Amino acid sequence: MFHHVKELQFNARVSKPDVRFAKLLLEQFGGPNGELKAAMQYFVQAFGCRKAYPAEYDMLMDIATEEFSHLEIVGATIQMLLTGVNGELKNAADESDLTKMLDGTAAKETYINDAMINPHFFLVSGGTPTLTDSVGNPWSASYIMGMGDLTADLRLNVGAETSAKMVYENLLKFTDDVYVKESLRYLMTREVAHFQMFQAALENIKPNFPPGILQSDPRYSNKYFNMSKGNDFKGPWNEGKSPEMGEDWQFIDNPQQRVEDTNGLLDEEAKGTDRTEKSVQKDNKTLSKERKEKVEKANKPENGVMSWSVYEEQVEAQKNNDNKNK
């Protein structure tokens, strides 16, 4: 259930119209890293964890709804930046106002240039925001990413918030409007906040690595293949212990020779790890059973009825209470 409050979450303002920046800002309205993408991604992901992970479901729905609020802020800002375009285009019966606005060759050339920057504003949308990115590509559901596994989805969302934050950071460079800047800074800051929320939610799920259920093959999980020659660098990604599983990194300096010596890695041995194929298969079964039982228990029908909300349970509880009072 959604309830729309007509005031914006943040008081968006602009000091003057700016068709050019309105075009750039479309990137966060209908682009692949924009607010609609984020809202729909988190909204869709939430369905899969409604029963098994009710706390994370609540978080996903709250953030998804806030992203719709951010979409409204972006749309309102674009509309204000297009002030003047909408009204002039409605003057279809009399060209006098438009002629006045385009008084002089320079003014006409400016108008034509603005139209060419984004013809949709002038020819199709009538001076309103369009669900496209900044170069006119229509919004697509293909932007949405979700794997149906909460730990994987949360990692995807951390990446989504990172990309959106960077877009706002770049947008800030292309406007001098102090009011627009304050809205962009607010929206950018909320991306940082959501990043932390998703990260915290991921850490709250144990175990959360690797994403999914099946464990990795111990023969290959800690191998670093030096696939380029030249200035080779060492770091925590190829020396010391791996950050998630605590295995010792194995640096393979000559990958081609290693492949040839091990029959295409089929004969590769596990080194620098306590994990074995036997322990991996045991962990696979243990985690599979745990996740299966958790989901089935959470989705078990109450009184022979599957109910998304608690209405059915409340009705049954009321019946039982009434019977006790008779």
Q: Give me the domain span that covers residue 316.
A: 294-325
Q: Is residue 283 part of a domain?
A: no
Is 239 flagged in the annotation as binding? no
253 and 142 in one domain? no
192 and 54 in one domain? yes
Is 67 flagged in the annotation as binding? yes
Is 4 flagged in the annotation as binding? no
Is 222 flagged in the annotation as binding? no
Q: What is the pLDDT of residue 98?
A: 47
Q: Is residue 2 part of a domain?
A: no
Q: What is the pLDDT of residue 106?
A: 60
> Helix 54-81 and helix 35-47: axis angle, to 10°?
160
306 and 260 in one domain? no
Is 70 flagged in the annotation as binding? yes
Residue the block writes with tokens 């492949």: 259
Q: Is residue 288 part of a domain?
A: no
137 and 54 in one domain? yes
Is 58 flagged in the annotation as binding? yes
Q: Is residue 172 part of a domain?
A: yes
Q: What is the pLDDT of residue 69?
A: 98
Written as tens digits, the pLDDT of the chain (326 aa) is: 899 999 999 999 999 988 889 999 999 999 999 999 999 999 999 999 999 999 999 999 999 999 999 999 999 999 999 886 656 555 555 554 444 555 555 655 565 555 556 667 665 666 788 899 988 899 999 999 999 999 999 999 999 999 999 999 999 999 999 999 999 999 999 999 999 999 999 999 999 999 999 999 999 999 999 999 888 999 999 999 999 999 999 999 999 999 999 999 999 999 999 999 999 999 999 999 999 999 999 988 877 888 888 776 666 666 777 777 76
Is 62 flagged in the annotation as binding? yes
Overall domain count for the chain: 3
Q: Is residue 78 part of a domain?
A: yes
Is 161 flagged in the annotation as binding? yes
314 Cβ contact partners less than 8 Å away, ≥ 6 residues apart: none
Secondary structure of the chain in the HEC alphabet?
CCCCCCCCCCCCCCCCCCHHHHHHHCHHHHCCCCHHHHHHHHHHHHHCCCCCCHHHHHHHHHHHHHHHHHHHHHHHHHHHHCCCHHHHHCCCCCCHHHHHHCCCHHHHHHHHHHHHHCHHHHHCCCCCCCCECCCCCECCHHHCCCCCCHHHHHHHHHHHHHHHHHHHHHHHHHCCCHHHHHHHHHHHHHHHHHHHHHHHHHHHCCCCCCCCCCCCCCCCCCEEECCCCCCCCCCCCCCCECCCCCCECEEECCHHHHHHHCCCCCCCCCCCCCCCHHHHHHHHHHHHHHHHHHHHHHCCCECCECCCCCHHHHHHHHHHHHHHHC
Q: What is the pLDDT of residue 89?
A: 54
